[in-house]
Structure 1
Amino acid sequence: MVQQFTQMVRTRTEEHLDGWLAKVADSQIPKLQSFTLGIERDKPAVVAGLTLPHSNGIVEGKVNKLKLLKRMGYGRAGFPLLRQRVLYAL
């Protein structure tokens, strides 16, 4: 079932989502059922993620890089050095 969900996400086939959710509900796998509860709570966002071509991956990558630079300076450097490292890295 996990592989089916992964395939659905990779191929962006929203049509199979309801069938997959029903299969998981019929199964007795608690962790998958918990996962599907989260999907049901935010179903419009999940459907949008499966159908729209937009992605925020680039933004998330930049945020991750910024946080990494910030963590590397904890306890050793102040804001001026952090600013220089961010400007140099981007």
Structure 2
Amino acid sequence: MSKTQVVTLRVPLDLKKRLESEAQLQGVSMNNLANYLLTTQISQLEALSTIEARMANKSFAELKSKVNGMLDTVEESDNVPSWDSLH
């Protein structure tokens, strides 16, 4: 188990009530729910930052060309449902 540290966080009363309510519905402590929510959100932000950094020096034409190259490797099939068709 990793070490923990107490952090005092000021949140609007309405947000605290929502967190308490959802924690109760989920059957977990408010602390566990807050940790879960913070962890998932920071992970998403980190992933987006990584993607943005990797794309920062790419042109739209270059990205489009790479995507088209990947799509060209996919075999065509007559059994593709209309909702999954690119046409």
TM-score, normalised with respect to structure 2: 0.32
Please identify which structure carries the higher helix content: 1
Greater relative contact order: 1 or 2 (C-alpha under 8 angstroms, separation 6 or more)? Answer: 1
